[in-house]
Amino acid sequence: MHVRSLSSVLTLFAVAATLVAQAPDRGRGRRDAKPVELKNLTFRTETFKSEAIGRDNEIGVYLPKDYDDPKNKDVKWPLVVWLHGLFEDHMRFHERGGAEVLDQCVGEGKLPPCVFVSANGGRTSMYFNRKDQRWEDLITVDLLEHLNKTYRVSDKREQRAIMGVSMGGMAALRIAFTQPDLFGAVAVHSAAVMPEDPAQLPDRMKEMVKQFGFTEVFGDPIEKEPWQKANPLCLAQALDSKQMHGLRIYFDAGTNDRLHLGETNELLHKVLDKKGIEHTWRLIEGGGHSWGSGFQGEALPHSFAFLGEMFAAAGAVKSGLEGLGGSVGGKGDDEKNGKKDDAKDPKKDAGHDKPDANGRSGGGR
C-alpha cells in the first residue's frame, strides 16, 4: 500500500471514530419526512421473525405497481436486496431520495420491475455474525427465506442482486465474494473497504471495536486472520475468477469522500483488475460520501442500470445502460472487442466518471 493511501486510510478511521461519538439520534428528521410519491412501485414495511438475531426484524419492500394484477399471478420477479450504512435502518433509502430514483429508473426502463427490499441490519452491526446476533445470517438465510415464502421472487441467481452503501457496501461485497451462488450481481457505493493489516488502525479505532462488541468477531487484540476474512480488499486477494460463476461486480466512490473511500476502493479495483476478474469501477471526480452529497441522483442510476443489464440478459425488460459511463475492469466487453479501457490509458481520465456541475456522489452515513 502506498504511503499516501495508508495515511488516507488511517484518516478514514479517525474520522469514523469521530462520527461514532457524534452519532445522530435515530429518529431525527423522520417525523418531518415528506411523503414519497411513487408511480411505478408500491411501498410497505413489514416484520418477520429472525432466528439469527433472536427477534422480529423490520424491512421495507417495494413491489411493481401491477404485482397483484391477476395477469401476473405466475410471474417470478427479479429480487434486489439493499443493505444500509452505519447509524441507518431500513427507512433510510426511502426517506433520503433512493425511492424516487428507484421509481424513476423502473419507469425509464433502466431497471426492470422487481421486488426491491431495504433490509435492516442494525445501526452498528457491520453485518457481522456474532455469538448472540448473526447479522450476516439475517440477510443470507432468514431474510431470503422470508422473501421466498412471502413474495413471488425468482429463484434464479441471475435474477437476484445485492446492493449496499458504506457499511452495507462492505457487507454486500463480503457476501458476494464469499457466497457467490446467492446473487448474480453485487453493486455498491462508497463501500467501507478497510486496511489489510489491523495493526495499522489508530488506537481510537481499536477501542471502537471493543465498544461495538466486535471482539467476538476479531479477538482482543484484533487478530489478523478474522479481520481479513471480513475485509473485501483481503477477500479479493484470494478470489479465483473460475469460482465466481460469472458474478457481476459494480462499485463506485467519490474523490471527495470524507472518509477517503475513493482511494481504498481504487485499491480494490486494482486487485480485481490484476486477477482478471471482470468488474465495473467508477471513481467519481468531486463525488462525496453521504446521502446529503447527492449520490442518490448521480450514482444510483448507474448501479440500477448495471443490474438491469443482467436482468435483461436473463429475460427481463430491456435495460437503459447505454449512455451511462464507467470503467470496466478485468476483461470486459471493450477489451474483448479490441477497445482500449480508459483506465489503462494514461492520457484519459483513468475511467473516472465525470458527474454534473455539482460534482456529487457517494454513499450512506
Domain ranges of the chain: 3-344
Residue-level pLDDT at 251: 97
Mean pLDDT lowest among 69-73, 130-134, 175-179: 130-134
- 69 has a pLDDT exceeding 50: yes
| pLDDT given at position 202 | 67
Q: Output the average pLDDT for the chain.
A: 80
* Mean pLDDT value of segment 29-40: 76
H helix runs in the chain, sequence order:
3-21, 92-95, 98-108, 135-137, 144-150, 167-178, 203-211, 215-218, 224-230, 232-237, 261-274, 295-298, 300-313, 333-336
Pairwise CA distance, residues 264 & 320, whole Å:
29
Kindly report the CATH class assigned to 3-344.
alpha beta
Angle between helices 3-21 and 261-274 (to 10 degrees): 130
Rounded percentage of the chain residues whose pLDDT exceeds 90: 54
pLDDT for 32: 58
pLDDT band at 296; cut points 50, 70, 90: confident
Global pTM reads 0.81
Overall average pLDDT of the 349-365 stretch: 35
pLDDT of the residue at 21? 39
- Confidence check: pLDDT of 154 > 90: yes
Residue 135 has pLDDT above 60, yes or no: yes
pLDDT of residue 248: 98
Model confidence pLDDT, tens digit, residues 192-236: 898 788 777 767 777 877 777 777 778 888 888 888 888 999 999
Q: Is residue 30 within a helix (H) or strand (E), and if so which, with residue range?
A: none
Q: State the pLDDT at residue 153.
A: 98
Name which residue leads in pLDDT, 226 or 103: 103
Distance CA(112)–CA(78), nearest Å, equals: 8
Q: What is the pLDDT of residue 294?
A: 72
**Structure confidence by residue, pLDDT tens digits, 177-203:** 999 999 999 999 999 898 788 777 767
Does 342 have pLDDT greater than 50? no
Phi, psi at residue 161, to the nearest 5°?
-145, 155
Check pLDDT > 60 for residue 118.
Answer: yes
- Identify whether 226 is preceded by a cis peptide bond (ω within 30 of 0): no
Q: What's the CA gap between 326 and 318, in Å, rounded?
A: 19
pLDDT of 292 reads 64
